Chains A and B, each alone.
Chain A
Amino acid sequence: MFDHDGSAPLVRRGPSGLAGFNEAGAALTLEDGLGVGKVQFLRGATAAYFSDLFGQPVPVDRQSLSLDTVEVSWLAPDEWLLTGDEAEVLAMIGRAAMFGDSCLATNLSHARKAFRLSGAGARDRLAAVTPLDVTDAAMTVGDVARAPLSDTGMFITRLPDSEGQPVFRIVVDQTMAAYAVRMLRGPALTPGAYS
């Protein structure tokens, strides 16, 4: 079918020079290959379509729903972020076609970059870059939010704790991924003047 010149097929490549870190009680791990998608329903249509697409009742606002390999997170009224196995995310996006013009489902796997930030120092890292309150009292496992991360934006959800320490998934626009990592890493943190 192709009138091809014999050159190599296209190769998939993420943002260059991106690396996580593990220092001062906080570890940032890149979630390469994580599928990201977004499903929007027309105003008020969520109640009718959500369970058809995801097989589960609509979760409460500002929380996420765990399916087998995909998390479905509330973003805004009638807007849902899918994160998880890329093939399954794509399959869900494909299935959303059954709702026709009542739904806009987009594959954002190439448009976003995801990290996991974990450890005892994770909250300190976040407190340096976002006004979001991520304390236990304000953000429990399963909670989601959209908030500034320095001069860019992020989606953040609290995943189940690991070894008694909090774990956060952070999703940013892929063009700002390196910036977000630099901001979360920051200069060496000092304990300050707590007396």
Chain B
Amino acid sequence: MTGWRNNAGTTIDRARRVNFTWAGRSYEGFEGDTLASALLANGVSIVGRSFKYHRPRGLIAAGLEEPNGIVQLEAGAATIPNMKATQVELYEGLVASPVNSWPSATFDILAVNSLVKRFIPAAFYYKTFLWPNWHLFERWIRKAAGLGVAPQHPDPDPYEHRFEHMDTLVVGSGAAGLAAAEAAAANGAQVLLVEADAVLGGGLLASTEPVEDRSPAEWRDAALSRLRALPNVKILARTMAFGFYDHGLVALCERLSDHLPLLQRSGPRQRLWKVRCRRAILAIGAFERPIAFSGNDIPGVMLASAAQTYALRYGVVPGKRIVVAANNDSGYEAAFALQDAGAAIVAIVDTRPETPMAAKAASRSIRVILTSAPVAARGGRRVKSLSIGDPAGGSARETLRCDTILTAGGWNPAVHLHSQSGGSLAFDEALQAFLPSQSVQEAPCVGAAAGVFDMEAAISGARAVARGDKLTRSVPVGVGPTRHFADGDVAAQRAWLDFQNDVTVADVQLASRESFRSVEHLKRYTTLGMASDQGKTSNVAGIDVLSHLLGKPPQAIGTTKFRPPFDPVTIGGFAGRAVGQDLMPFARLAAHDEQMAAGAQMEQYGGWLRAAWYRKGDEAEEAAVRREVLAVRNSVGLFDASPLGKIEVKGPDAAEFLQRMYVNGVRNLKVGRCRYGLMLNEHGVVYDDGVFARIGENHFLVGTTSGHATAITDIFNEWLQCEWRDLNVLVENVTTGWAVMNVAGPKARDVLKAVGTDIDLSSAAFPHMTYREGRVAGVEARVERVSFSGELSYEVAVPWSYGASLWNCFMRAGRKFGIAPFGIEALMVMRVEKGFLHIGSDTDGTTYPQDVGFGPAIAKKPDDFVGRRSTTRPDGLRSDRRQLVGLEVIDGGGVIPIGAHLLPRGSTEPRGTEGWVTSSVMSPTLQKPLAMALVAAGSARMGEDVRTWHLGQTRRARIVDPRAYDPEGARLDV
């Protein structure tokens, strides 16, 4: 036990004690603590195990950059994996445990990995476990790797979204952020100030440096008081800006109830904000860099700024005998703060030959060892000593006994949001850090985020930027040198860069030797910066090592891409209200309730809930489908076809327009006639089909598949607005305005007649593939005599609100004919019996119209149409293209599975494919299995016997004409 609580602490409430459980043991903290500060105060040094080597790890940071303190929070449905202890606000009854360790973090069996570390360096998994089969190892490796455990139960919490529009968004509430917000508000702007922390103030909360002649706390309180009094300023705490997108869109995640005891939570857990702002001022601060030296991951090694934060903000001192290793002045400030907090500062080890701060340290009786750098820490579960040496290299020259080592390796401005907004970065040699350079959007950085580390300069600069002036930055005080490892130095194997993902200096050296020298390749090969902290403490250090190895400046190496989110966001936050039935809203039919009452088994098809089949009594699906098919074939059935797309196309050039959009000819279609239409995309691939009717000389009703009505309307409008602006055509999608009931079967005419209509239904007056308007059961109706079942069939469309009533009307009128409602599955069986194409089942992203029998139609059509040119590319003219054919089962077996491959002729094993089964059913009408398949050169292979293969099962079939039932169409012409 080394961490301890003193009497300080600016953001904890000592009057409110909080009980919590960590790794099964009870502890106590204060309100205002984080889980990290409370653990540290209770002397918990080991908070987890590393990802790969399972080395014991202690806290390094105090903020969201923490790589080691990864915890599993709570249990059951409320559990959340991989939370950072530094971000978890302590609440009464909190339960948390370390991840990636067994049986405990203090004694972990898999720490044995560390003993064989030299055999499992970076990317070892790319080179091993290949023989005999990766899958033999996969389960074991997956069990050994990884961090927390994903919840097994649905998330019990609701989440919200909120859109906001602002003149100015200020991200960060440190001194620069507060100053910027106030100055922007003074100019009249609507300002939103957001802070990821629970407490506003940023670095002011852990600083002793006076600000404009006031203490940091006084300055913060005064600024906040003024801001809260302004009507044009809105302030959000516990709100992290995690993504910066185009056109001033910034995404925020607000934690609404995470800080409350579980039983006190109500309402949404988090709110995801999408803020559209004219200007964002980024005052996000900076992250301190660790220093790479042997043993720098032993518990007790911590960032100097983090120790300062724990001491000043939470009243927690991380150790008793502390060595500070620094290359800049901020390490001295931490040393002074910790000395004031009661710790013994053994020494400040500084790589620089001189600094004015040395005298200040001396006045505090702190030993300063200049021109020195840390070489190796010693210790097992806790640091015991630090050896130091020359920054330029060489062996250690002195060992300092200590229980804590604080590192101050300089600062990296948090450039993530700036980079996400499109801004560029420039490497500053003095600071050894990447700074924001050119902005693409109105998103200036201020304060430490801009590389301005002097408090007064940061404040004045932020005010200037908020007023619209440019930020002027004085020459920064540079950092001292960094000690580097020689390539191959064994000590580099114990010098960590990425603590969470266990990446060492030696791993970067290895990657460099193996030619993974692009920073993006380095990241993927070593996993440097890929952990949940996304390299906030490791990336620049890794770039520095690579730069030194390659002899290239960091600017030439660059950084990896900064992508949202800046810090992990729970998936529930992204989902918002899009969960359960609202994950993907489905449209319901007008007669939904009636069909449910009739036994409909609803499934989703193309965004609609539709009856797949109707259960009668206790029959199973197969029996129901058979019954429905036979009812249609022998008498009459009723199908709800309302989701089929219906688009009105009107205007003097309507026929010309559709002539260009469809494979089929449209111009010569007579008024009152219908025609099947096949539509391609620009690549020539079959995209959609349907029946269009010419309902006036220049007026068409275009049918589409159910899921494509909106998309095709958009496509029509795009062509008309962007390509063919000379065509006078108007388009309107009326799909959901008309309910369509399809009455099909030999008795269909009788049923429609019984319902009552003023339309002459005789075969002569209303033949197949024609359209009529009139009244059905007293309501205006559009009726198409078209058929996808192969039987006499009418599609009767009435205004949507009459749809349920029309369904009832048909069912009543059809009762004496034994009418049966039928679903999608029965329809699919009937269309396979007829050999009708179903787009999406019998086609894929490579199917051209000539593959599904439209070659002759195209040859006859003189005009160009969308996709035509693409179909005539060499690939489209290959003689061995897969073509749609029928398959007759000849082995006496049942249905051939959809997806079964056709084996090449003479093949002895299932390698290569000549195509696959696209549709396959048991035909109740013909009482035999039927299938359709896309087969190489299929239409030229009629009568050929083939073998299919599916999951080890081989079947025999014969290639045949797909029209198995009524190939002449006699049943349609009645």
A residues near B (Cβ < 8 Å) are 1-5, 7-16, 38, 40-43, 101-104, 106-111, 127-133, 135, 138, 150-152, 173-176, 178-179, 182-183, 186-190, 192-195
Contact = CB atoms under 8 A, between A and B. Distances in A.
A104 B578 contact: no
B732 A38 contact: yes
Nearest to B699: A101
B799 interface: yes
Contacts of A186: 160, 577
A194 B755 CA distance: 62
A187 B577 contact: yes
Q: Considering the complex of A and B, which 5 residue pairs feature the smallest CB-CB distances, nearest first? A: A111-B737, A175-B587, A4-B756, A2-B756, A110-B800
Contacts of B757: 2-3
B736 A10 contact: no
Contact of A127 (B162, B650, B775, B779): B162
Given A2-B757, A104-B650, A194-B236, 4 more contacts: A101-B651, A132-B163, A190-B256, A195-B236
Contact of A10 (B238, B582, B584, B809): B809
B582 A187 contact: no
A101 B377 CA distance: 86
Given A104-B730, A175-B587, A127 B578 contact: no
A69 to B, nearest CB: 21
Given A5-B755, A151-B578, A42 B651 contact: yes
Given A5-B755, A10-B806, A111 B236 contact: no
Contact of A111 (B584, B588, B728, B734): B734
Contact of A187 (B267, B584, B731, B778): B267
Contact of A7 (B162, B652, B728, B813): B813
Contact of A2 (B236, B276, B735, B758): B758
5 contacts: A2-B757, A11-B804, A110-B736, A192-B236, A195-B237
A43 B728 CA distance: 7
A43 B652 CA distance: 12
B588 A7 contact: no
A113 to B, nearest CB: 10
A54 to B, nearest CB: 18
B632 to A, nearest CB: 21
Given A10-B779, A189-B267, A42 B799 contact: no
B740 to A, nearest CB: 12
Given A128-B161, A175-B588, A104 B732 contact: yes
A192 B254 contact: yes
A7 B800 contact: no
Contact of B801 (A7, A110, A151): A110
B662 interface: no
B164 A127 contact: yes
Interface string B152-178: 000000101111110000000000000
B585 A7 contact: no
Q: Which one of A4, A9, A174, A195 has the highest number of Cβ atoms from chain B below 10 Å of its Cβ?
A: A195
A182 B585 CA distance: 11
Given A5-B754, A127-B163, A187-B160, A194 B235 contact: yes
A106 B582 contact: no
B592 interface: yes
Interface string B720-740: 000001001011101111100
B755 A7 contact: yes
Given A173-B736, A175-B588, A194-B234, A11 B160 contact: no
A42 B651 CA distance: 8
Contact of A152 (B161, B200, B585, B802): B585
Interface string B785-828: 00000000000001111101110010011000000000000000
Nearest to B199: A195
Given A1-B758, A195-B237, A150 B578 contact: yes
Q: Which one of B587, B592, B654 has the highest number of Cβ atoms from chain A below 10 Å of its Cβ?
A: B587
B271 interface: yes
Contacts of A2: 756-758, 775, 777-778
B182 to A, nearest CB: 15
A128 B274 contact: no
B728 A9 contact: no
Contacts of B944: none
Nearest to B158: A187
Contacts of B736: 110-111, 173-175
B228 interface: yes
Given A151-B584, A192-B236, A106 B734 contact: yes
Contacts of B588: 15, 175, 178
Contacts of B804: 11, 13
Contacts of B593: 16
Contacts of A127: 162-164
Contacts of B257: 190
Given A127-B164, A182-B582, A193 B755 contact: no
B739 to A, nearest CB: 8
A82 to B, nearest CB: 13
A26 to B, nearest CB: 15
Contacts of B236: 192-195
Q: Which one of A111, A152, A183, A194 has the highest number of Cβ atoms from chain B below 10 Å of its Cβ?
A: A111
B737 A7 contact: no
A14 B801 contact: yes
Interface string B7-26: 00000000000000000000
Contacts of A130: 163
Given A13-B801, A133-B165, A150-B577, A176 B587 contact: yes
A135 B732 contact: no
Given A179-B585, A190-B267, A129 B161 contact: yes
B104 interface: no
Contacts of B734: 106, 108, 111
B904 interface: no
Q: Which one of B753, B757, B805 has the highest number of Cβ atoms from chain A below 10 Å of its Cβ?
A: B805
A8 B809 CA distance: 8
A138 B732 contact: no
B648 interface: yes
Contacts of B755: 4-5, 7
B600 to A, nearest CB: 14
Contacts of A183: 577, 582
Contacts of B731: 104
Nearest to A5: B754
A5 B582 CA distance: 42
Q: Which one of B162, B737, B738 has the highest number of Cβ atoms from chain A below 10 Å of its Cβ?
A: B737
A10 B587 contact: no
B239 interface: yes
A192 B256 contact: yes
B635 interface: no
A183 B579 CA distance: 11
A128 B254 CA distance: 14
B268 interface: yes
A9 B778 contact: yes
